[in-house]
Amino acid sequence: MTKLTLISFPTCPYVQRAVIALKEKKVDFDVVYIDLANKPDWFLAISPLGKVPVLKVEREGHEPTIVFESAVILEYLEETTPGRLHPEDALERAQHRSWIEFGSQVLGDLWRLSVAKDQAELDAAQQAVTAKFALLENIVAGPFFAGERFSYVDAVFAPAFRQIDALETVAPAGLTAGLPKVSAWRQALAARPSVREAAPADFAELYLQRLRNNAAHVLKLAA
Ligand SMILES: N[C@@H](CCC(=O)N[C@@H](CS)C(=O)NCC(=O)O)C(=O)O
């Protein structure tokens, strides 16, 4: 019997990837939230990069083991738990891993968008996001990334779309405007139970509060 504990932060999009995967695979796990602004010593002792998510794996007869980096956690879960979220074919699997990395870059762009202090920084981040979604418009099969089957690429993009949903409640930026396939994908992901359950109900408020605390330029565009 293996016990899994996910060390988490409520609004972290990388944590959400792991939560979505665990829920899709119907695997039991515990969650421990930490305050990233005041990281506890026990966390710093087990987390080499000081970042969440961290997965603590406790197997009978073994010392607890730490797995860090969300993409690595997803791979570990794929190899050890039922329910396939990667394609069977090695080349397709490699492509999905490439798009997972692309998803991380989108999160980086969204981070830059959320901390932009002026219009020039905001424009640059916004253009980086829209250019990546424009590229995806030609790749997404629909309703999910690779068709009917939900995959890890979906688990990776769902938290990015959740951030955009929150952002667009106050400062419509049209980040997926004019992209029908990406927009439909965004809607399909928002409706998926594992995605809905992967973040707190007040996610949008928590996310926007962080933007307010950072005096984010994007909020100044709000009507
Ligand atoms: N590459 C990492 C990124 C994780 C990450 O950036 N987590 C953020 C929260 S969303 C974090 O823990 N930041 C704390 C810090 O950098 O001090 C992953 O995929 O797991």
Find out whether the beta carbon of 43 lies less than 6 Å from any atom of ligand 1. Answer: no
Atom in ligand 1 nearest the alpha carbon of residue 13: 10
Active site residues: 12
Q: Is the pLDDT score of 214 beyond 90?
A: no
Q: Is the pLDDT reported for residue 222 higher than 80?
A: no
51 Cα–ligand 1 center, Å: 4
Q: pLDDT confidence of 223, banded at 50, 70, 90?
A: low
User: Of all residues in the chain, what percent carry a pLDDT higher than 70?
Assistant: 99
Q: Which atom of ligand 1 is nearest to the CA of 51?
A: 12
Same domain, 70 and 119: no
Given the structure tokens 């099969």, which residue do they identify?
141
- For residue 68, what pLDDT is reported? 98
> Which residue's C-alpha comes closest to atom 1 of ligand 1?
69
Domain shared by 34 and 100, yes or no: no
* Residue range of the domain that includes 14: 2-80
In CATH, what number is assigned to the domain containing residue 141? 1.20.1050.10
Q: Domain check: are 119 and 76 in the same one?
A: no
**Mean pLDDT for the stretch of residues 104-110:** 98
Q: In this structure, what CATH number is given to the domain that contains residue 59?
A: 3.40.30.10
**Looking at the structure, do residues 75 and 120 belong to the same domain, yes or no?**
no
165: in domain = yes
Task: Confirm or reject: Cβ of 70 under 6 Å from ligand 1.
Answer: yes
Q: What is the mean pLDDT of the chain?
A: 96
